[in-house]
Structure 1
């Protein structure tokens, strides 16, 4: 393709695009079309006065860049405008109705809200910014059509840089914004129902922390042992409302507007157990967030910088420039379907080490994380916790109807 700003030819198969002296060129050409000159990138055939199949078909010779997905590779693909980056009339109406509903709902709650707010450096515009009573700013981004992961990360990082917490709204379980930034997913509803106030339930992106002691009577499975065994440790994991015990109700978008602005619900980032480079973004109650931070000893709920998953790393084939217009053939570079990203499975499991059996007269030291986890798992206030007189593991020791020995030790004693 041809870069009309620099008057240079670009080779997407090279890591430096054929111009090692322009280190920011890749970021410039992958910027969303809505945020740059739509005529910045030109079909090479059109520039060289040869036949551009797109233009001859009544469409545009101007182009944009997207990431393909073929057999595990992620090449850069040049595609002709428009279509992919132009929302359909139905999507545009849904987008407008959702944005207006956010602003109107915030106003009814007495919150300050404004639509189409440019961020300080004007590199992006938030669909709506809702400001809470402690000057907490939530930047709502309604994204009902595809947006590249790099654009999601860049716009989110730009918002955070200016003290705005991004909150992306999707309607598709395969939306690329999921887990690239704080997000929620709603149903795909006609714009009239959105505008008329029909209930909009948060279907994904909000989770609850469940903490339990891994004993035979627990309804939860063990996170570390296979089969039906129980390890006796305390486990913690994040669940969607339907999988909580007991099951919890889904929250509505009105609840999310209020709770995010007042700080009752906060964004949390949980790294994946198998891959520290990837993880899950989720909204949670501030109480669950505080308990989670106590358990893992981490006080930063969001990653310091946007994380790029291995699956999103661009691959370069290092080939000669293809000077033929391939309009209509771009689909062969994106033949692999988009993967579902919004899963209902539990995520972020964490297990506290079992307290060691006391072998000396020295008192057992109980950490704040162990006390917080035991309090949540046993359903009692922290001041009622204490060590078992037999094995020193935490139990509900003080208060009414309690015992000096845990159930395991009592079973051993009664069997003698």
Structure 2
């Protein structure tokens, strides 16, 4: 139950604790609203199609939570239609949830990306609230939503709606859980880790994602194929792709989704469309395959990973009784990690200063004045310092309106420095992501 109700038709908030519902200019407002709602009920109109929604916690989080009115012992009450909306008012954020939020921000900052927790984004007259929003490269925004084992899986609703609203507003939804039942859902792109206490989640050891990431195996459907034909034919002679489970480090997932080297896809298997995370190289090959499934798409050049992680693991060994439909692959060899950390090989920079032929006509190459200590152009350094300063001012503000204005200023500054990095990388024939990461690390280390 809630004390504040949003009336969709009147576009006002109704405070049930006040006799006049906090609208003295509208006499008999309660009688009108209550009788209308009861009339809808007698007609059998579903609660979700009436005019009342939760105007408290649910509205603040950007969730449309339908409600109906009733009288109990002379008290006015507004009742949620769905149990999960009611529990949103009473279930506090767990220590594990907070640990995940802190870890996401820490991993993002270590990769040179910004972010913030409990970010509210306005959508018309309503809001959506993101657990942790990571500001990635090229204006990319990753909205991490952490859903742990706090409620029964049957009570988790509205995920597709929330994910759809985030995607429409330029936020890539990334939902993470420790529940197998949630990870098997297909309403958004889920990832899953083992169920761990907060102190293990928060520390710097290697936390593995054991569900949600896939490596795509491309093959030709002939008599030598290992997999059965997905069309139910003995051998169709076409090219296909099979999604194979792979584990990935959680921190790598945070950083590479922000960098764009791990991306979400919708993968069709028979009549079912699954939502997975894959490398951008696999995504590109899948698009080539969909455009012409008579031949295999070309291999993407991948740099092999060297060495193993230096961090102590935080994950727990999977037991036999915990095997699921989406099996954890904690024992997978680290040789699978080239799919996660691979970047295309880049040719060496030319000795003489040249402008690449693919530079767009009229595009001005970046200034060549170079800082002697960092080896990077001074213009890049100054632009990155300006963007960081704008982000620091944003973190110091408390007023919501001022934060919105400052966030716009920060994004404009970030767009300017990213465009400059792109021009510089193309001029020097360097990997853009590596240049951006090095620039941020050098500037922020110097500032620290």
**TM-score calculated relative to the size of structure 2:** 0.49
How far residue 195 of structure 1 moved from its aligned partner, in angstroms, is: 1.1
SS in structure 2 of the partner of residue 199 of structure 1: coil
SS in structure 1 of the partner of residue 46 of structure 2: coil
Match status 1:49 vs 2:78 = no
Alpha-carbon spacing, 1:152–1:117, altered in 2? closer, same or farther (3 Å): same
Alpha-carbon spacing, 1:42–1:190, altered in 2? closer, same or farther (3 Å): same
SS in structure 2 of the partner of residue 220 of structure 1: coil
Which residue is 1:164 aligned to?
171
- Given candidates 75, 93, 96, the residue that maps to 1:94 is 96
Q: Which runs of 5+ in 1 are unaligned?
A: 53-59, 67-77, 242-249, 299-339, 346-416
SS in structure 2 of the partner of residue 203 of structure 1: strand
Alignment root-mean-square deviation, CA: 4.2
SS in structure 2 of the partner of residue 120 of structure 1: strand
Alpha-carbon spacing, 1:172–1:86, altered in 2? closer, same or farther (3 Å): farther
Q: Determine if contact 1:208/1:285 at 8 Å carries over to the other structure.
A: yes
Give the whole-Å Cα distance in 1 for the aligned partners of 2:226 and 2:179: 32
How far residue 63 of structure 1 moved from its aligned partner, in angstroms, is: 3.5
Matches within 5 A, 1:88-167: 92-121=94-123, 123-144=127-148, 145-146=150-151, 150-167=157-174
Instruction: Indicate the structure with greater helix content.
Output: 2
Match status 1:187 vs 2:194 = yes
SS in structure 2 of the partner of residue 236 of structure 1: strand
Alpha-carbon spacing, 1:290–1:30, altered in 2? closer, same or farther (3 Å): farther
Give the whole-Å Cα distance in 2 for the aligned partners of 1:151 and 1:268: 20
Give the whole-Å Cα distance in 2 for the aligned partners of 1:38 and 1:172: 25
Give the whole-Å Cα distance in 2 for the aligned partners of 1:280 and 1:10: 42
- Given candidates 32, 38, 42, the residue that maps to 1:9 is 38
Which residue is 2:343 aligned to?
none
Alpha-carbon spacing, 1:37–1:62, altered in 2? closer, same or farther (3 Å): farther
Give the whole-Å Cα distance in 2 for the aligned partners of 1:271 and 1:27: 36
SS in structure 2 of the partner of residue 256 of structure 1: helix
Give the whole-Å Cα distance in 1 for the aligned partners of 2:109 and 2:326: 32
- Given candidates 209, 215, 224, the residue that maps to 2:216 is 209
Q: Determine if contact 1:256/1:265 at 8 Å carries over to the other structure.
A: yes
Which residue is 1:253 aligned to?
250
How far residue 272 of structure 1 moved from its aligned partner, in angstroms, is: 5.6
Alpha-carbon spacing, 1:65–1:194, altered in 2? closer, same or farther (3 Å): same
SS in structure 2 of the partner of residue 9 of structure 1: helix
Q: Determine if contact 1:149/1:176 at 8 Å carries over to the other structure.
A: no
Higher relative contact order, structure no. (Cα contacts within 8 Å, ≥ 6 residues apart): 1
How far residue 42 of structure 1 moved from its aligned partner, in angstroms, is: 6.8
Alpha-carbon spacing, 1:119–1:80, altered in 2? closer, same or farther (3 Å): closer
Give the whole-Å Cα distance in 2 for the aligned partners of 1:138 and 1:172: 21
Give the whole-Å Cα distance in 2 for the aligned partners of 1:112 and 1:182: 22
Alpha-carbon spacing, 1:31–1:173, altered in 2? closer, same or farther (3 Å): farther
How far residue 32 of structure 1 moved from its aligned partner, in angstroms, is: 4.1
Q: Which runs of 5+ in 2 are unaligned?
A: 6-13, 15-32, 293-321, 328-448
Give the whole-Å Cα distance in 2 for the aligned partners of 1:40 and 1:287: 43
Give the whole-Å Cα distance in 1 for the aligned partners of 2:144 and 2:287: 26
Match status 1:237 vs 2:242 = yes
**Paired residues, number:** 263
Q: Determine if contact 2:191/2:209 at 8 Å carries over to the other structure.
A: yes
How far residue 65 of structure 1 moved from its aligned partner, in angstroms, is: 2.3
